[in-house]
Structure 1
Amino acid sequence: MERERRAAADAVLLRAGLVALTLTSAVSAYRAAAAGDAGSTAFVAASYSTLLLLFRRLRAYERLPPPAGDADADDERRARLRLEVWALCTLLTVMFAWKVAAAMPSWPVAAAVWAMAALTTAGGCVALFHHRP
């Protein structure tokens, strides 16, 4: 009983988050387009699309059954989904680092932004591919 209530609450939060993401992305894209900034409009559209795809891949990964002791067909799918999740996270990290670094006042600060992005990407690689729970 408690599990079903929690699942229903999680579904409501998920939908609310997706609605908020969609609305804020739409407003950002509208403002950028109204200002004639095609680059920012494309950035908003690309980041929104990438986030939706990331959420879809994460959901597919969550729905896989727990790993069995033997190698099975789900192991191959699990590995592919981990790779897709890492690639999408890396893409988002690079996109946001690009925007943030461009707004930095000096090159050392921009270099620090890129260094943090590289460390985040490397940490994600280690966590997803080299660390087994």
Structure 2
Amino acid sequence: MDRGGRPGWLRSLGFAFLSFNCGMAIYRSSSDPSAVAFVVVAYLALIALFRCLHLLERAPAGGQARASMKAAVWGLSTLLTLMFSYKVAAIMPLWGAAGVWVMGLGTIVAGFYAFFVHSEAP
């Protein structure tokens, strides 16, 4: 729960944990610019996704702001799904990589259906 616009201790702890782990990943991957870029983009996308989810929860039902937040949440979750599917599939055998991509694409399609096709309860 928010306390006067400030996040609770659990959210703050989660954000600190995420930030620490991303910092450590950047430090350990400092010799590989593509790995650093992956971590930075994933971190920023996660922060943006959490913010958009917060705004989506507070948006009035049926408004343009809610539709925009749905699109932003779906877009960011799609970006993260594709990024992590790419990284995981790269270290899998062919059949495993195919499974990762099928599951990732299934998640993206299911998210699209849930946000844009399936109607909300009145």
Amino acid at match of 1:19: A
Aligned residues: 117
Gaps of 5+ in 1: 1-5
Residue 54 (structure 1) shift: 0.5
2:37 pairs with 1:42: yes
| Equivalent residue for 2:107, pick from 114, 117, 120 | 120
| Equivalent residue for 1:32, pick from 29, 34, 37 | 29
Amino acid at match of 2:57: E
2:83 pairs with 1:95: yes
Number of the residue aligned with 1:21: 18
Residue 7 (structure 1) shift: 4.9
Percent identical residues:
38
Q: Within 1, Cα distance between the matches of 2:58 and 2:66?
A: 10
SS at match of 2:29: helix
Residue 109 (structure 1) shift: 1.0
Q: Within 2, Cα distance between the matches of 1:119 and 1:81?
A: 21
TM-score by length of 1: 0.83
| Equivalent residue for 1:61, pick from 49, 52, 56 | 56
Q: Within 2, Cα distance between the matches of 1:95 and 1:82?
A: 20
- Say which one has the larger Rg: 1
Whose helix proportion is higher, 1 or 2? 1
Q: Within 2, Cα distance between the matches of 1:87 and 1:49?
A: 13
Runs of 4+ aligned residues of structure 1 deviating over 4 Å after TM superposition are none
For residues 46-72 of structure 1, the C-alpha deviation after alignment (integer angstroms, 9 at most, x for no partner) is 00000001111111111223x2xxx6x
For residues 13-42 of structure 1, the C-alpha deviation after alignment (integer angstroms, 9 at most, x for no partner) is 111100100000000011000xx1111111
TM-score by length of 2: 0.90
- CA RMSD, Structure 1 to Structure 2 (Å): 1.4
For residues 71-109 of structure 1, the C-alpha deviation after alignment (integer angstroms, 9 at most, x for no partner) is 6xxx111001000000000000000000000011x2111
For residues 103-129 of structure 1, the C-alpha deviation after alignment (integer angstroms, 9 at most, x for no partner) is 11x211101100000000001011111
| Equivalent residue for 2:66, pick from 61, 78, 93 | 78
